[in-house]
Chain A
């Protein structure tokens, strides 16, 4: 057909295709825009959720940093982003003290009582914890105050408020943690207030401790020093509720009339086992390992668990796998020359719990009486019995004394906790340990030295209350 012959109206039909294309495009556009709108909304919702969660974890990271740094020993020098500083945070015992963690240097202190310290996070980590209403990019620590404006004490422990605000995008989350200052416990704590003396030495014994020696006995001869005894608390004090008697050396000059210090391990819970479940006991799923006294005479590897009748190492070598060993009657005895007791793991430790047999048997004693051999026990580095190497049932009656005799020389790297029992060291025995005992008696040339890993090296802070604001 010759197009030149077509009438004008037929030529206009080309517009139908155009209209249809427009309709098609319109529908397609509506669908696309609807979908796009949905995607944009969805993306925004997801971004908001992501920001919320990130802000929370940033705040929590701030709390974690505060917890770590409050429990560091000063000085602990670190270098972050080219700056070298002491990472340990040691709050001053004054009501107006405040600590701020910042990203940019220490800055000028706001006042004499304010600590500004850089964070140990590298700037590249972008974990910006901040405190609302205070300096940006900071995390704040300050003492909780009571209604009289004094540092709040709960259960005798000062309470520190740690607040962190995490930010991410438009989201902001605040986390608040209260921590209690757990004052360093003494290297030697002699708990009995009524025993007189609480600490008694005869002959030439010596005590060397890193931290404080605390004696709760209230009588005038609470510490009775005999012969040429020598007591030294190298970096701590000697505190005694009563007075001093005798002629031996004691350093530094004892603080007589000091307040009685409550049991520093009073909150420690005993382990549970079959037939024995005192209130609050810790169920570690301990299994029975022996139904009668377990005698070690050769080289033997022992597993944690319950030993009815106790363990008696007599001339043999007991290699203890890490964990809790319950002596349910019979006690823990190391005797005869050549006896060895060691922990079978260089990074872990053991805890020996001495109690009665719940079926009615007698309670045995913990005793070390060997002139040669190798006793080297180490407490667990973490967990509920962290730092405790021997724990004697505080509720048992009678309370057998913990005895160290016969030229014994050993390491109990941790604390002997026998709050209601006597600890008796005689002869030329030597012990590297810390202790919380009822009374302490030393004779001959007995020596107490600090353990390789003292657990009393300064105040620590423990979490007591979390609030997710």
Chain B
């Protein structure tokens, strides 16, 4: 009697267990699929964040390099008229002179600095001539300069670039340069971009007595 009952119960419960396991497996698969999708999405997001972080660091480092160099633009202790020594000031490129060899004057070889976008590269001029342009950061999609004269503030509408070659007096009037740098990168078939803005106040331009 006991064995009959036991045998019937085992049989019934065994069948129930298969259904239960199947159902459980199904639920587990749905859950796993959900978790997997969530995990992959998070991984993708993480990759994107890391790429953004990398771009951000590159852009900031590049902006910092440009600001640091521009602050010293026009360093020329022997000059009476203290100007920033800017020779080119257009929307995509800036060039300036400064005393790099420490002799107190500007005019020796390789006393020229510049920044420009060439293709997807931000380049810095470290020596005179075309060969002097060295890459600073790649993945650049846009580099833009705005120039503000001594008498203007950053909301002044009369800023350069003017859409033409500035005159010597206009170049000499530049006191502040705003830089906008956009870098981009492809992550998982998607292009993401990051824009950094910096302002360089040209310290060697005379504003005091």
Contact = CB atoms under 8 A, between A and B. Distances in A.
Contact of B57 (A20, A24, A27, A45): A45
Interface stretch (B69-77, B120-128, B139-147, B175-183): B69-77
Contact of A154 (B21, B60, B104): B104
B50 interface: yes
Contacts of B49: 38, 42
Nearest to A67: B208
B39 A35 contact: no
Contact of B10 (A7, A16, A467): A7
Contacts of B153: none
Interface in A436-469: 460, 462-468
Contacts of A170: none
Interface in A142-159: 152, 154-155, 159
B209 A462 contact: yes
Contact of A280 (B35, B43, B81, B204): B81
Interface in B1-34: 9-10, 13, 17, 20-21, 24, 28, 31-32
A49 B61 CA distance: 9
B46 A35 contact: yes
B53 A42 contact: yes
Contact of A466 (B31, B39, B53, B203): B203
Contact of A31 (B39, B71, B204): B39
B208 A465 contact: no
B32 A23 contact: yes
Given A155-B80, A178-B77, A466-B75, A30 B9 contact: no
Interface size class of B (residues with CB under 8 A): 35 or more
A56 B132 CA distance: 28
B38 A31 contact: yes
A382 B21 CA distance: 89
Q: Which one of A5, A7, A152, A468 has the highest number of Cβ atoms from chain B below 10 Å of its Cβ? A: A468
B204 A34 contact: no
A42 B38 CA distance: 22
B13 A6 contact: yes
A5 B9 contact: yes
B204 A16 contact: no
A462 B208 contact: yes
19 contacts: A9-B17, A10-B13, A10-B17, A23-B35, A27-B38, A35-B42, A35-B46, A38-B46, A42-B49, A45-B56, A152-B104, A267-B80, A462-B208, A463-B208, A465-B76, A465-B77, A466-B72, A467-B75, A468-B68
Given A465-B77, A465-B204, A468-B69, 18 more contacts: A7-B13, A9-B17, A16-B24, A27-B39, A34-B43, A34-B46, A35-B46, A45-B56, A152-B104, A154-B78, A154-B104, A178-B77, A460-B209, A462-B209, A463-B203, A466-B72, A467-B72, A467-B75
Interface of A: 5-7, 9-10, 13, 16, 20, 23-24, 27, 30-31, 34-35, 38, 41-42, 45, 49, 52, 152, 154-155, 159, 178, 267, 280, 382, 384, 386, 460, 462-468
